Amino acid sequence: MTRYLALTCEALARSVYAAAAATPHTVTVRLFRQGLHNTPNKLRAALQAEIDALPPGEWDAVLLAYGLCGNSTAGLTARHTPLVLARAHDCITLYLGSQDRYRAEFEAHPGTYWYSLDYLERSTDGANVALGAANLGLMDGVYEDYVAKYGQDNADYLMEVMGEWGRHYDRAVYIDMGSGDGSAYEQMARDEAQRRGWRFERKQGSRRLIEQLINGAWNEDEFLVVPPGYTIRPAADSLIMAESPGAGDE
């Protein structure tokens, strides 16, 4: 009997639960707050604390339902149990089901805001509704604060500079992962796209990578298996990440 512990970002909850229910293995799922990637040091610390607290011998592997996520998972060290994660920059790859599909989307439309049911239904911050490695949080409410601190002229300037990114975005995509009823959230994404003058698209996601992760089908091109005593490192090549001996120093 193979037992896995899946440390999972909330943004992937439904897909991980679905894969865990269907797999022949025994999988325990633990969720971590989404949005922690905005502070990679905190997310890394939370995951490492969980890994460090696991009793030896209980699990065959610790699965990380994460990508590199702004280097949040870089620096994580496997103790007695191997760590496994998909070679992905962020959850968009895991939603789309393959690196190739992610790369094609990213290269064709770098200015895309992504939306999903999981992310929206678990969002506690109503203003910050989109996905990805970059925290682009919307600036509502900040303006008054700037006027008070720096005067209106400077406040206008700061809003212009901080809002600059929005002008480079031109597309909103709602990814349907095929679980639950996301129609209300899809509508929310449509409304947001219209408000900002972005093109809206709806795309069918794929659980392929998440299922492979949960099923233990870890081909080397798509998954990194980190043996005990090794640490995850970011890589400058298409493998995205690598393992190196020793503990993390980040």
Partner 1 sequence: MLIAEIREAVINGQAKVVATKVEQALNEGVPADRILHDALIDGMREVGELFEQGEFFVPEMLIAARAMKGALEILKPRLVAQGVEPLGRVAIGTVKGDLHDIGKSLVAMMLEGAGFEVMDLGVDVAPEKFVEALQNGAQIVAMSALLTTTMSNMKATIDAIAAAGLRDKALVMVGGAPVTQAYADQVGADGYAPDASAAVRKARELIAS
Nearest by Cα to 101 from 219, 241, 203, 220 = 203
Q: Is 221 in the site for partner 1 (CB under 8 A)?
A: no
Q: Is 148 in the site for partner 1 (CB under 8 A)?
A: no
Q: Rounded distance, CA 250 to CA 110, Å?
A: 29
**Tokens encoding 18:** 């679905």
Q: Is 181 in the site for partner 1 (CB under 8 A)?
A: no
- Tell the smallest beta-carbon distance from residue 206 to partner 1 (Å): 19
- Tell the smallest beta-carbon distance from residue 161 to partner 1 (Å): 6
Q: Rounded distance, CA 104 to CA 107, Å?
A: 5
Among positions 129, 133, 138, 139, the unique one binding partner 1 when judged by CB under 8 A:
133
Among positions 31, 162, 188, 225, the unique one binding partner 1 when judged by CB under 8 A:
162
Sole window of 77-85, 155-163, 184-192, 224-232 interacting with partner 1 (rule: CB under 8 A) = 155-163
Q: Rounded distance, CA 113 to CA 200, Å?
A: 10
- Tell the smallest beta-carbon distance from residue 73 to partner 1 (Å): 10
Query: Within 10 A of 245 (CB to CB), how many other CB atoms are there?
Result: 8
Cα 102–chain centre separation: 13
Among positions 15, 34, 71, 206, the unique one binding partner 1 when judged by CB under 8 A:
71
- Tell the smallest beta-carbon distance from residue 166 to partner 1 (Å): 10
Nearest by Cα to 138 from 107, 105, 116, 169 = 169
- Tell the smallest beta-carbon distance from residue 21 to partner 1 (Å): 31
Nearest by Cα to 169 from 109, 106, 111 = 111
Among positions 52, 153, 181, 220, the unique one binding partner 1 when judged by CB under 8 A:
153
Per-residue exposure over 47-85, b if at least 16 CB sit within 10 Å of its own CB, e if not: bbeebeeeeeeebbbbbbbbbbbbbbbbbbbbbebbbbb
- Tell the smallest beta-carbon distance from residue 234 to partner 1 (Å): 6
Q: Residue numbers of the site for partner 1 (CB under 8 A)?
A: 68, 70-71, 89-90, 106-107, 110-111, 132-134, 146, 149-150, 153-154, 157-158, 161-162, 164-165, 168-169, 233-238, 240, 250
